Structure formats: structure tokens, C-alpha cells
Amino acid sequence: MPRNSADLLIVGASEVLTLGGASHRPRTGAEMNELGIIKDGVVAIKGGLICDIGSLQKIYDKWSAPGIIHAEGRVVMPGFVDCHTHAVFAGSREIDFIKKIVRKSGREISAVPAYLEILKGGGGILETVAKTREASEERLMIYAAFWLNNMLKYGTTTVEIKSGYGLSFEDELKILFAIKKLRGSKMDIVSTFLGAHAFPPEKSREAYLKEIIDHMIPHIHVHELAKYCDVFCEAGAFSVEEAEKIIEIARVWGLKIKLHAGEFNDLGAVELGVKYGAVSIDHLDHISDSAILAMAEAETIGVLLPAVPFHLMTGHYAPARKMIDAGVPIALATDFNPGSAPTFSMQMVIALACRQMQMTPAEAITASTINAAHAIGMEEKVGSLEIGKQADIIILDIDNYLQLPYWFGGNLAREVIKKGVIVS
């Protein structure tokens, strides 16, 4: 019998992690340890999609292809989905980083402000805002393309990007238009409006809130610039009451809801997100037991960002173990940004999740692929290796998946494939 013709076969893997069977809803609880491993598996790709997947005997006898990748005993898995980043910005904030080191060392404690105090004093986010406002849309795209290329090299094939470093009608739209144009790059990009990131120094709280509600959100809808609306609900940023006003209008204009909540304080934003059907609530380093139960009942995805407490040296990580055991669907992301998480490596995030939040390697992989895809509405296309899905695949220089968080600090991605094409 003649074999079917594919474009590319990946053969010789020690393990193929399919993460299959969870495209209808994110994995929770014990399901997060189910990776759908095929030993000595083969992936067949045609037209940028997975056309078959299974054991060597089943697939190799059925398919031929002009292109063959020999995985040579390595792990093959879905590309990482980084479902929370701020990848369009200008400048860097290494001075803030040094200040935190000095503060952590116990020297000049009274003179060195913490993260929220830096923001209150006009630094932090506002420092990045000033540099981003100065940059043209074209310049921002050049910077972002550089970061996205680095993410791709480390195995991220789908990414969410938030605005939030403009804090004015003109500059927020500049960022969102840049993100829209970047969608033609090698990666799938999902856009989120985060004009409610901080309050600009030149406007009153009331005036800026009105600008977001009356001008930014309607304009974003008309030009299809974002899929989600996010709010940084935190002391020194937006209150729960202010966040609710924004969420109500965003929903009217057809935007889905996300929230930054519990990064430094538990203000009740989790309950607000659950009330309004947020797709995800992110950070959650500070979250009450009752809020965990509310998220589990509502099946709201908790996007955890362990690179933030690591970089800020707070030592206070999200209670991932408690959340998973309660049934909250968990995703992981880098939170890539110049202030609190200057990392583009989902591999490092997985290493931190296992070490600092006691997630198992399988849970961390699930949280970085199919669950993260659910967090940005991409679960039907990416996040798992299944027939009909995009051939977004990484081949890792390890012989079993347990080694992914074990070897940390480097890049284990040997080859990165996006829609059936080797891109790194």
C-alpha cells in the first residue's frame, strides 16, 4: 500500500508530549500531570498542521515526507505559550534593580524605595512610560521584534502582549498598532489593552479614568486593536472600584476581561474578576483561601508569574500547590517587562515554578502549553500536539521531560518549529 505524503516527519524522539484531549477546557488538579506521552513517537506535518501523530510503527508505515527531522532520542513537545507579557516598550530599568539589591542587603533601607514606592515617586512604570512615549511606533516594533526573536529561540511560539506603557490616548494606541503590525511575524500574537496600568503624572485620576472609558476603549473596538482588557488592580495603581468601572465598559464594547491581582496586596480584585467572568486573573502572589475557592468554582484561569518575585527578591510566591489542589486551572507566563521580569525564557519560568511553587514538572509543562493557550483563547490552534492543530513544536536537548526544570539557566531548545517550518 502506498504511503500518504506529508511535508515533514519528526522521528526518533524518546518522548513526544502531546498534551492532547484538553482543548475543550483547561486541565485542573491531577489532570495537570497528564502529558499524553508517546514513547518513540512520530509527528507528521502537512500544510503547517499536524496531520498524524503516534508510534513509530503506526506513523512511519503510513506516511512519507521529503523532509525528515531526526530527534535522536530527544523530547518533542508543543511550543510554549507565553500568555502574559509587556513586550512593547523602550528603555530598561537596571537602576531600579540595583536599588532593590541595596535595599535587600540592608544598606540605605530608608533611602531606597520598594516597587510601589518607586512608582509613587514617578519611577518604575512611569520611567518606562516616558521612554516609550519618546519612541516612534517603528522604533518600538524594532525593539519588540528583538525580544520576540529571543523568545522564539527559547521555544515560545505563541505570545500575548499588553499595552500599558503609553498611558495616554495617543501613546496607548501607538503601542496597540505596533502589536497589531507585529502579528505578521513568525509568532502568533494576542493583544491586550492595559491602559489601566498606572496613572500618568500629568492627569488627575478622574480625568485619566474618563479618558480610558470614553475614548480609548471605544477606539480600540473600532480598530480591532485588542482582544482583552486588563487592569492593574493594586495599591498605588487602580482600586477595585475603578477597575469595575473599566471592566463594565470594556464588556459593553466586546472586550474580554483579564486582571492583574494580588501581586503585592489582596484588595479583593480576584472576587471582582470572578464576578465579571474574567478569562484569567494574573499574579496572585497574595490570595485568600476564599478567593482560591471562588476561582476554582468559576474555572477562572490563574496565570502565575514566578519570575516577578524572583527578580524583585520578595520571596513571596503564589500558592500554586494550594490552588492546584483546590481545582484552579493554572497557567504560567514570563510577565516579560523591563521592571519586574526582564526574562524571555519560559524554560526559566518552569524551573522557578518547580523550585519555588512546588509544581511538578508535568504540571509546569501543562501550565506553559495547553492551559496557557486557554488563557488567551488559542486552545483550538496551539498548546498541544493533535491532528488538525498548528505544527508548533520544540525539540529539547533532553531525553526525558523531568530534565526540563532540572537543567536551568540555559537554552534546551535544539529546534523550534512554527506552523511546520523550522524557525530557530
Annotated binding site for Fe(3+): 84, 86, 260, 335
* Burial (0-12, 13-18, 19+ Cβ within 10 Å), 333: buried
* Spatial CB neighbours of 390, under 8 Å, sequence gap ≥ 6: 48, 49, 50, 188, 381, 382, 418, 419, 420
Q: Which of 77, 44, 23 is nearest to 346 (CA)?
A: 77
Length of the chain: 424
> What are the CA-CA distances from residue 182 to residues 128, 145, 156 (Å)?
20, 8, 15
Calpha distance 211→107 (Å, rounded):
42
Local structure of residue 338 (DSSP, 8 states): T
C-alpha cell at 329: 486551572
- Detail the residues annotated as belonging to a binding site: 84, 86, 93, 165, 197, 260, 263, 335, 337, 339-340
- Detail the residues annotated as belonging to a binding site for Zn(2+): 84, 86, 260, 335
* Burial (0-12, 13-18, 19+ Cβ within 10 Å), 238: buried
Beta bridge partners of 67: 8
- Detail the residues annotated as belonging to a binding site for 4-imidazolone-5-propanoate: 93, 165, 197, 263, 340
Calpha distance 169→147 (Å, rounded):
25
Q: Which long-range contacts (CB under 8 A, 24 or more apart) does 263-269 make?
A: 263/234, 263/308, 264/115, 264/116, 264/234, 264/235, 265/234, 265/235, 266/291, 267/233, 267/234, 267/235, 267/239, 267/240, 268/240, 269/233, 269/234, 269/240, 269/243
Quickly count: other Cβ atoms within 10 Å of residue 361's Cβ.
20
Residue that the C-alpha cell 526540563 belongs to = 404
Q: Which of 320, 378, 318 is nearest to 160 (CA)?
A: 378
Calpha distance 157→416 (Å, rounded):
8
- In what side-by-side order are the strands of the sheet with 413-418? 37-39, 15-17, 75-78, 393-396, 413-418, 421-422
- Detail the residues annotated as belonging to a binding site for N-formimidoyl-L-glutamate: 165, 337, 339
120 φ/ψ sector (left φ>0, alpha ψ -120 to 50, else beta): alpha
